[in-house]
């Protein structure tokens, strides 16, 4: 596990760009493509805007990249809270990445089982039977959730399917999410977390008692891959190992 602590979200996002560019180049050099599962939420928004900015947009061979939405809300793709819409507006549209290389959850199908089954089929079609991402980018909720793997929800115990609907009592709705089997098969998993409100959770996930049902982010443990924590100083404040 590599922990990178940066002073603030700006520095953290620049560090995330550097890592993403490095991993992307490695993947393209190794097998000619770069598959990345993107996180939703607000933390990665600045990172996505940097990747699409004139300064960095040519740092990655986007023609060789395939972007996947790692998890999604149970809303139409053009809804304000859609992760796909956020990625489209901030990253893929500005980069001119065609819609067929931004693999989303077709939530317009409405039947969440069908949506997840179709997404899993596409995952396997694009990544092969082992569905191994070159990189999975994850956020962290202050309740310890990651992707849409929320505490005490059924998807935490999924051991076979790569993508599932997940009923979240607290939201009184379904979410759609890749599962631990998919995340833990990835070559690289990168957590990006910032803000004082995440400090207690970051410390519990990284240093606390192993309770993945309560702290789902603890279930992320790539079997044959690298795990990175990119956190800003406010989110690192409760770590016992302290600041470098």
Q: Which stretch binds ligand 6PG (CB under 6 A): 55-63, 99-107, 138-146, 162-170?
A: 138-146
What is the smallest separation between the CB atom of 32 and ligand 6PG, expressed in angstroms? 28
DSSP-derived secondary structure for the chain: -EEEEESSHHHHHHHHHHHHHHHHHHHHHHHS-EEEEEP-SSTTHHHHHHHTSTTTTTSS-GGGEEEEESEEESS-TTSTT-HHHHHIIIIIHHHT--GGGEE---GGG--HHHHHHHHHHHHHHHHTTTT--SEEEE---TTS-BTTB-TT-GGGG--S-SEEEEEEGGGTEEEEEE-HHHHTTSSEEEEEE-SGGGHHHHHHHHHS---TTTSGGGG---TTSEEEEEEEHHHHTT-TT---
Taking the least distance from each CB to ligand 6PG, the nearer of 24 and 44 is: 44
208 touching ligand 6PG, by CB under 6 A: no
Segment 75-134, which members bind ligand 6PG (CB under 6 A)?
83
Closest CB to ligand 6PG among residues 35, 43: 43
39: contact with ligand 6PG by CB under 6 A: yes
Number of residues lying near ligand 6PG (CB under 6 A): 14
- Applying CB under 6 A, does 141 fall inside the site for ligand 6PG? yes
Residue 146 in contact with ligand 6PG, rule: CB under 6 A: yes
* Given 4, 135, 147, 205, the residue binding ligand 6PG (CB under 6 A): 147
Q: Which residues bind ligand 6PG (CB under 6 A)?
A: 39-43, 71, 83, 139-141, 145-148
């Amino acid at each position: 596990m590599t922990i990178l602590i940066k002073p603030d979200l700006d520095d953290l996002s620049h560090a995330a760009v550097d890592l993403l560019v490095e991993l992307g180049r490695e993947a393209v050099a190794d097998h000619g493509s770069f598959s990345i599962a993107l996180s939703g939420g607000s933390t990665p928004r600045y990172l996505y805007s940097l990747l699409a900015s004139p300064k960095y947009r040519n740092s990655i061979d986007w023609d060789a990249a395939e972007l996947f939405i790692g998890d999604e809300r149970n809303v139409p793709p053009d809804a304000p809270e859609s992760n796909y819409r956020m990625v489209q507006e901030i990253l893929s549209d500005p980069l001119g990445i065609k819609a067929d290389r931004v693999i989303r959850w077709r939530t317009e199908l409405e039947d969440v089982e069908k949506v997840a089954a179709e997404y899993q089929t596409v995952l396997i079609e694009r990544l092969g039977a082992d569905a191994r991402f070159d990189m999975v980018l994850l956020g962290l909720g202050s309740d310890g959730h990651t992707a849409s793997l929320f505490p005490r929800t059924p998807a935490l115990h999924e051991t076979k399917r790569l993508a599932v609907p997940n009923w979240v009592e607290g939201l009184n709705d379904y979410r759609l999410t890749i599962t631990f089997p998919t995340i833990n098969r990835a070559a690289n998993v990168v957590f990006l977390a910032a803000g004082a409100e995440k400090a207690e959770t970051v410390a519990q996930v990284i240093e606390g008692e192993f309770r993945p049902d309560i702290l789902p982010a603890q279930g992320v443990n790539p079997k044959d891959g690298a795990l990175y924590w990119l956190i800003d100083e406010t989110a690192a404040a409760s770590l016992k190992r302290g600041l470098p």
